[in-house]
């Protein structure tokens, strides 16, 4: 692994630096020697400056490694004692101002500064035993004022980073950041303070950790949402990371429980599962359950949108461009398939009124000019419905189809006789439906 090669290189350079201190002038010679040594290990275009050197440590500054997107460090302090150094161990490694990134390329991850190397997804990634930890010639690592930028095939994340790690007496990892930025398609999520604390449990061959994120906000195509907070647990095994968590708003009106399974050796098998999520919608509640989202982004996602007690008045105004009003609420389920390309397909969904009510629709909301249309217009000027349902589906062209099914009467016309109406919403009304409802149905909204 490149990380292990880097650590071994640092051990080697520390030994070299102590021996080189007896030479004068040593600084220029040492910088050239270290540069050549790093490049011989596979690092490209290395630049560095030796700042200080002593029997207990060395400081390097203005470090840059790599060509296209270089890994950069403000300074690195390597602490050691001569006995530890002789055994090939370093007491402490303090890094300030590290800027580095990771990019996914055809399923494989590559690190900045290693353009010429091979960073394929092979072998063990996470040390989970004393034997694996013993191979790391470091007692502790401290990372300050640094940042990590991750770009995958489907998303990207920017993480300002503060990190501490210790090998003894108990291996522990602690990281904090003042903010995170996550982007997927046309949505951006940002956060306030975030933290992760993890401890190695060697008997179970895993790291156990707890995470917390404050002030989660988003912007993009979807409707705005209040700030939320999240917390949960993390388990890291040799080649697998499991994440559990919940996020919710202060008043609990928005909340979600989720899990993520990420396989380092086979990222195409990784999966995000939205166990359940609820949010307010048209004076009611919109929820989803057991939604499985492939993190590779190359498979479709099946979603059952559950609507509870949504205002019919809000729906009718949305469907007709505010040319209709109604009383009552509807509930039901709309199955949806979200394609890998973001396309939406509806599958025989239905919303039904929970009790009788009224619906008033302006005549110009119903296009057409024949006797049947005239009757429908007259009845819908003041329809007292006993049954109302809204059927949602996709037609042969995979376009949204909405059918309004009504039973009731208008006491002002046709002597109040009962009627049954099927109103197929198309044209401008359908366009309004798509513009108002579809942004919620997109994959990034599900993650949100």
Contact 121, 132 (CB under 8 A): no
Q: Is the pLDDT of residue 72 over 50?
A: yes
Question: 26-40, 251-265, 267-281, 289-303 — which is least confidently predicted?
Answer: 26-40
DSSP state of 269: G
DSSP state of 238: S
Which positions ≥6 away from 108 have C-beta within 8 Å?
A: 119, 120, 121
Domain boundaries, the chain: 1-120, 310-447
3-state secondary structure of 387: strand
Confidence of residue 121 (pLDDT cuts 50, 70, 90): very low
Contact 429, 442 (CB under 8 A): no
What span, in angstroms and rounded, lies between the C-alpha atoms of 329 and 285?
11
Closest C-alpha to 308, from 335, 280, 327: 280
Of all residues in the chain, the percent with pLDDT exceeding 70 is: 76
Contact 198, 172 (CB under 8 A): yes
Distance set, CA 45 to CA 36, 63, 74 (Å): 10, 11, 16
Which positions ≥6 away from 328 have C-beta within 8 Å?
A: 312, 313, 353, 354, 355, 356, 357, 358, 388
Q: Is the pLDDT of residue 76 over 70?
A: yes
**According to the model, what pLDDT value does residue 221 have?**
53
**According to the model, what pLDDT value does residue 161 have?**
82
Which positions ≥6 away from 188 have C-beta within 8 Å?
A: 181, 182, 218, 219, 220
**According to the model, what pLDDT value does residue 228 have?**
93
């Amino acid at each position: 692994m490149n990380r292990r090669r880097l650590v071994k290189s640092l051990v080697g350079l520390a030994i070299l630096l102590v021996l080189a201190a007896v030479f004068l002038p040593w600084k220029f010679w040492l910088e050239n020697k270290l540069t050549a040594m790093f490049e011989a290990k596979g690092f490209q275009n290395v630049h560095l400056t030796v700042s200080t050197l002593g029997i207990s440590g060395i400081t390097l500054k203005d470090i840059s490694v790599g060509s296209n997107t270089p890994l950069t460090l403000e300074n690195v302090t390597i602490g050691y004692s001569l006995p530890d150094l002789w055994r090939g161990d370093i007491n402490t490694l303090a890094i300030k101002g590290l800027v580095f990134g990771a990019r996914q390329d055809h399923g494989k991850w590559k690190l900045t500064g290693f353009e010429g190397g091979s960073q394929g997804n092979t072998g063990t990634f996470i040390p989970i035993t004393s034997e694996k930890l013993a191979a790391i010639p470091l007692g502790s690592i401290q990372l300050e004022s640094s940042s990590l930028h991750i770009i995958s095939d489907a998303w990207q994340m920017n993480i300002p980073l503060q990190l501490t790690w210790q090998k003894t007496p108990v291996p522990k990892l602690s990281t904090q950041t003042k903010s995170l930025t996550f982007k997927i398609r046309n949505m951006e999520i940002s956060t306030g303070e975030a933290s992760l604390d993890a401890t190695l449990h060697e008997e179970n061959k895993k790291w156990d950790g707890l995470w917390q994120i404050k002030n989660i906000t988003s912007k993009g195509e979807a409707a705005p949402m209040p700030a939320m907070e999240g917390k949960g647990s993390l388990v890291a095994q040799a080649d697998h990371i499991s994440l559990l968590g919940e996020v919710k708003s202060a008043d609990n009106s928005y909340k979600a429980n989720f899990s993520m399974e990420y396989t380092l050796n086979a990222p195409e098998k990784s999966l995000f599962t939205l166990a359940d999520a609820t949010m307010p919608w048209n004076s009611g509640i919109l929820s989803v359950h057991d939604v499985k989202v492939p993190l590779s982004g190359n498979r479709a996602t099946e979603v059952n949108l559950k609507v509870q007690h949504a205002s019919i008045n809000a729906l009718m105004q949305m469907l007709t461009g505010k040319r209709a009003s109604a009383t009552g609420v509807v509930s039901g389920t709309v199955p949806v398939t979200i394609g890998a390309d973001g396309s939406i397909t509806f599958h025989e969904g239905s919303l039904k009124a929970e009790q009788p009510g009224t619906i008033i629709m302006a005549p110009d909301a119903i296009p057409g000019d024949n006797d049947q249309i005239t009757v429908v217009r007259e009845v819908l000027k003041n329809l007292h419905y006993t049954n109302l349902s809204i059927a949602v589906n996709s037609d042969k062209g995979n376009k949204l189809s909405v059918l309004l099914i009504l039973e009731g009467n208008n006491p002002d016309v046709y002597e109040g006789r009962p009627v049954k109406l099927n109103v197929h919403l198309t044209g401008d009304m359908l366009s309004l439906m798509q513009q108002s409802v579809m942004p919620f149905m997109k994959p990034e909204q599900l993650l949100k």
